[in-house]
Homo-oligomer: A and B are copies of this chain.
């Protein structure tokens, strides 16, 4: 009935791990596990949906249109649709677990 967002984290993670926890019209809740990952050089996310994201474990730095923001567990941030952002780093010391809520109209 439940699974735990922080349990059984993979110890070897070549790529970031994206798990959809809930998906209904105009709403998706996703767990993302990073382990030292960052966005590729020069890559910026540019999303049709708004995103509200919180770090549950680990640490990360986001760039959001020029500004940078460090996130530790409990820190959350809202990223409006089409606000360009990227992950500058996630800590190599442990997995970083994000909980992301994507909402608003998803264009295809």
- Residue numbers of A with Cβ under 8 A of B are 1-7, 21-22, 24, 26-27, 29, 50, 52, 54, 56, 69, 71-78, 99, 101, 103-104
Residues on the B chain within 8 Å of A73, using CB: 6
Taking A5-B75, A101-B101 as known contacts, 18 extra A-B pairs with beta carbons closer than 8 A to each other, sorted by chain A number, are A1-B77, A2-B71, A2-B75, A2-B76, A2-B77, A4-B72, A4-B75, A5-B54, A6-B74, A21-B52, A22-B52, A22-B78, A22-B101, A26-B26, A27-B27, A29-B101, A54-B99, A99-B99
B54 touches A24 (CB 8 A): no
- A71–B2 Cα distance when bound, in Å, is 9
B69 touches A1 (CB 8 A): yes
Residues on the B chain within 8 Å of A52, using CB: 21-22, 29
- A5–B54 Cα distance when bound, in Å, is 9
Residues on the B chain within 8 Å of A3, using CB: 75-76
